[in-house]
Amino acid sequence: MDRDPHNLGQIFKRLQFYQPVILLVLALGLGVFALRAHLQFAALARDGVEARAEVLARQFRQQPSRYSGWRAPTVRIRYHPEGMPEPLTQRKSVGRPFYDQLRVGGQVRIRYSASAPHVVSVDPYRERRLRMLLTGVAGAVMLGALGFTAWTMKRRLPHFRALRHGERRLARVSARRSSNVYQGKQRLHVLEWQDSEGQTGTSQPETRRRLAKVAVGSEIMVRIDPKTGRGWWDAQV
């Protein structure tokens, strides 16, 4: 009995488990941005202080890269929180209508947190919309990532068991035939085999061009799922 178990790193790469991980990391990143926006909103609601700030500059900044074509209106403001020896300077993104109302050297109403003076609101309408958008997108991506992860794990679990704990057997290809599965307009094909223990099996559908490289009568290696007893062609797991 030949088991030749793969280590977890090999299985992770071979079964492409990195795909759901990438989606989960993306969802967590968006969630962090959304949480940060809500925490700032909570700080402003808890101990926000109304004040006026001087507009030092207004400009359109390329976001997020100079190749994207997206230019965001931004303003640089200076304000002096109570109890601080020096004023603070910040650059904030604002909506276009709000941006058009501002003039360099003029004043703008702001709201900053007394406990965290660097947390400041300049354009509340835009900030509320951005907060809602981040929350919605982060939630949708997280649900999609969790669903895709569950689907991937369910679909790949037999492969994982075969690679990690399954027996390897030599099998002889007995037939190559068309399947009922299509890829676009192209009908896919499968291999049929009988392994060294007399158990028969069928490969997953593949293009005829790829399976043409495996001749009927040739030998292939299969891995057996110890739970279901199903054999998987080693080249497909």
Which residue segments constitute the domains of the chain, with CATH numbers given?
20-140 (no CATH), 166-236 (2.40.50)
**Residues 188 and 182 sit within 8 Å (Cβ to Cβ):** yes
User: Mean of the per-residue pLDDT values for the chain?
Assistant: 87
pLDDT at 165: 82
pLDDT at 208: 86
> Has residue 1 got a pLDDT over 60?
no
pLDDT at 63: 54
pLDDT tens by residue, 151-162 = 888 888 888 888
pLDDT at 19: 82
**Rounded to two decimals, what is the model's pTM?**
0.62
pLDDT over 70 for what percent of the chain?
A: 89
Closest CA to 126 of 98, 89, 107: 98
> Has residue 5 got a pLDDT over 70?
no
> Has residue 13 got a pLDDT over 60?
yes
User: b vs e for 99-112, b when ≥16 Cβ sit within 10 Å of the residue's Cβ?
Assistant: beebeeeeebebeb
Distance CA 167, CA 226 (A): 8
> Has residue 102 got a pLDDT over 80?
yes
Q: How far apart are the first and last CA of the chain?
A: 19
The maximal CA–CA distance of the chain, rounded, in angstroms, is 87
Confidence of residue 185 (pLDDT cuts 50, 70, 90): confident
Distance CA 137, CA 133 (A): 6
**Residues 79 and 52 sit within 8 Å (Cβ to Cβ):** yes
Confidence of residue 204 (pLDDT cuts 50, 70, 90): confident
pLDDT at 86: 93
How big is the chain by its Cα radius of gyration, in Å? Answer: 30
Distance CA 79, CA 110 (A): 9
Confidence of residue 46 (pLDDT cuts 50, 70, 90): very high
> Has residue 167 got a pLDDT over 80?
yes
Q: What average pLDDT does range 128-144 have in this prediction?
A: 91
For tokens 């158990």, the residue is 199
Q: What average pLDDT does range 185-206 have in this prediction?
A: 91
Q: What average pLDDT does range 44-71 have in this prediction?
A: 79
> Has residue 173 got a pLDDT over 90?
yes
